[in-house]
Homo-oligomer: A and B are copies of this chain.
Amino acid sequence: MKCLTKSAEDRIKEAAIKVFLEKGFDGTTTRDIAKEAGLNSALMNYYFRSKEKLFSSVFEEMLQLFFKGLLEVLNRPISLKQKISAVIDHDFEMFKTNPDLANFIINELHRNPDRFFSVISFDKVLVHSVFAQQLKVAVDNEEIREIKIEHVLLLIKSNIQFIFQGKVMTCKIWNMNDKQFDEFAENHKIIITDMITQYLFSSEK
């Protein structure tokens, strides 16, 4: 019987993820979450003590999701050029699956920067990644222009993330429906990949 239905704790967590991502911490009431989970609202405090603690749990999980796949891709045994494509593809798919994620992370971090307490030290992990090594070698061999990994990753993240974060604005300005937007996003992904690749793999003027 345990496995037939999800535990109350899991249902609360699941509902919390959905509601918090949609409405943010300030816009969410504990009753919203209880209603979404179909449970008595006191249960939320029984399992998670407080709204803040439940939120922290959700935020941490989303932050993991936000970076999880990135590290895996950065350490794959593929060429630098392929890897840049792969990172873009990965982020694109992630945001396509979780459309609210980009806005959620950025906004909640903006409201309360101290929420970003990384379990792992990202800078070290990134600097010691296979990707970082490949980048260094390529720069040394003058295969790509001289550029820091900070800038490369920001270029990729900026271009992908804003497609989805700015969806509402894009659709409003250019009168796109969802289908048209999806097509536009796919095209834009190709443009980004071309642009970044071409920029890196060209000597400086």
- Chain A contacts to B: CB under 8 angstroms: 23-24, 26-27, 100, 103, 105-107, 109-111, 113, 116, 118, 122-123, 126, 147, 150-151, 154-155, 157-159, 161-163, 165-166, 168-170, 172-175, 184, 187-188, 191-192, 194-196, 198-199, 202
Contacts and interface: CB of A to CB of B under 8 A. Distances in A.
B162 A157 contact: yes
A47 to B, nearest CB: 24
A172 B170 CA distance: 29
Contacts of A159: 155, 158-159
Contact of A168 (B23, B113, B163, B196): B113
B161 A154 contact: no
Contacts of A170: 150, 154
SS class of chain A's interface: helix, strand, loop or mixed?
helix
Contacts of A162: 154, 157-158, 161-162
B24 A111 contact: yes
A110 B116 contact: no
B123 A169 contact: no
A155 B159 CA distance: 7
B166 A154 contact: yes
23 contacts: A24-B26, A24-B107, A27-B111, A110-B168, A113-B168, A116-B169, A122-B172, A122-B173, A123-B173, A123-B175, A126-B173, A150-B174, A150-B184, A151-B187, A151-B188, A151-B191, A154-B162, A155-B191, A158-B162, A158-B166, A159-B159, A194-B199, A195-B199
